[in-house]
Amino acid sequence: MTIVTITGLYDTYEDAAATVRALEAFPVPSADISLVANGLDNDGMAAETETEAVAGAEIGASTGAAIGGGTGLLAGLGMLAIPGIGPVVAAGWLVAAAAGAVAGAVAGGAAGGLIGSLTSAGVTSEDAHLYVEGVRRGGALVTAHIDHANTLPVEAIMRRHGRVDTSVRGKLYRDGGWREFSETSMPLNQLDLAKERALRQADLMPR
């Protein structure tokens, strides 16, 4: 059996959560799925922590509280803080791997905890930076470890629930001057995230 990593970026927590539930029903084991969603830009999931207070925080359970609710993976959701992103709602193997990378690194050596975990799982560096930047800008990321034989049906599930076209989204970011995600970036506040939503909507309008 060959294990591959399938990843989907979503504009809302609701779409990402629907994807997680569909994957579990396929079935993909909950232990093989991960979800990371911006904690400020999702209804019912907003963090109480000020963006400035978490700007330099490390990934880790000590930075947040359990949210729970739902079943499967969604029952284990917790609030964490990630450098460059701020508060996120997260659960699953990707978050655990990123937290371990940060905890085991020397000072200054944990650049890109999430990015490093994604690339270690087979995601290209370019895509990993785009995915994490997408979460920073208000999105939600779903990742799944699956048997290669299940790639087509899992890809279909990801698309059915509104997965972002990363080639289009990447161009939108790069046209605005973005090149790659940086942990030293200031997390976006609610006003910034509202502007990001408007930018995405404008890009979808017919020309």
Secondary structure class of 3 (helix, strand, coil):
strand
Q: How confident is the model at residue 100 (pLDDT cuts 50, 70, 90)?
A: low
pLDDT of residue 56: 33
Torsion of CA 167, 172, 175, 181, to 10 degrees: -80
Answering whether pTM is above 0.85, one says: no
User: Which helix (H) or strand (E) element contains residue 36?
Assistant: strand 33-38
pLDDT of residue 95: 83
Q: What residues form DSSP beta bridges with 82?
A: 86
Q: Where are the alpha helices (DSSP H) in 43-189?
A: 51-54, 93-103, 113-120, 125-136, 151-160, 166-175
Highest-scoring range by mean pLDDT, 48-57, 95-104, 192-201: 192-201
DSSP one-letter code for 136 = H
pLDDT averaged over every residue in the chain: 81
pLDDT of residue 82: 85
- Rounded to whole angstroms, the Cα distance separating 110 from 16 reads 27
pLDDT of residue 32: 96
Q: Which residue has the higher pLDDT, 191 or 107?
A: 191
- Considering the chain, what percentage of its residues have pLDDT values greater than 70? 76
Q: Which of 26, 5, 4, 14 is nearest to 157 (CA)?
A: 26
Q: Which residue has the higher pLDDT, 54 or 186?
A: 186
- Considering the chain, what percentage of its residues have pLDDT values greater than 90? 58
Of 24-28, 59-63, 149-153, 195-199, which gets the smallest average pLDDT?
Answer: 59-63
Cα 28 vs. chain centroid, distance in angstroms? 18
Q: Is pLDDT above 60 for 55?
A: no
pLDDT of residue 192: 93
Contacts for 140 with CB less than 8 Å, ≥ 6 apart: 9, 10, 11, 12, 13, 15, 16, 17, 35, 36, 37, 38, 42
pLDDT of residue 81: 84
139, amino acid identity? G
Q: What is the mean pLDDT of the segment spanning 176-194? A: 92
Q: Is pLDDT above 60 for 111?
A: no
pLDDT of residue 40: 86
What are residue 165's phi and psi, to 5 degrees?
A: -75, 105
Of 35-44, 93-102, 125-134, which gets the smallest average pLDDT?
Answer: 93-102
pLDDT of residue 25: 96
* Structure token pair of residue 64: 């947040």
